[in-house]
Amino acid sequence: MKQASTENVGHEIQHETTLFAEPILEFENFTITNSLLNSFATVIILVLLFIFAGRKAKQIPRGIQNFFEMILEGALNFADTITGSRKSSKRFLPIVLSLFLFILVNNWLGILPGIGTVGFVDSHEGHKVFVPFFRGGTADLNTTLALALISIIASHVFGVITIGAWKYLNRFINIQAILDIPSKIRKDPTVVLVNPIHTMVGLIEVVAEIAKVASLSFRLFGNIFAGEVLLTSMMALFAFILPLPFMFMEILVGFVQALVFAVLVLVFLTMATTSQEH
Residue 265 · residue 155 · CB < 8 Å: yes
How confident is the model at residue 6, as a pLDDT? 40
Output the furthest CA–CA distance in the chain (Å, rounded).
89
The pTM for the full model equals 0.81
How confident is the model at residue 3, as a pLDDT? 42
Strand-by-strand arrangement of the 127-132 sheet: 2-8, 11-16, 127-132, 119-124
How confident is the model at residue 158, as a pLDDT? 93
How confident is the model at residue 99, as a pLDDT? 94
How confident is the model at residue 111, as a pLDDT? 79
> What's the Cα-to-Cα distance from 206 to each of 201, 211, 216, rounded to whole Å?
10, 9, 16
How confident is the model at residue 26, as a pLDDT? 79
List the pLDDT tens digit at each of the 278 positions of the chain: 434 444 444 455 555 566 677 778 777 778 888 888 888 999 999 999 888 877 777 777 666 777 788 888 899 999 999 988 889 899 999 999 999 999 999 998 877 776 766 666 666 555 677 677 778 888 888 899 999 999 999 999 999 998 888 888 877 877 776 777 777 777 777 777 777 777 777 778 888 889 999 999 999 998 888 887 777 777 667 767 766 777 788 889 999 999 999 999 999 999 988 876 54
Query: What is the residue extent of each domain of the chain?
Result: 2-272
How confident is the model at residue 13, as a pLDDT? 52
How confident is the model at residue 125, as a pLDDT? 58
Pairing between strand 11-16 and 2-8? Answer: antiparallel
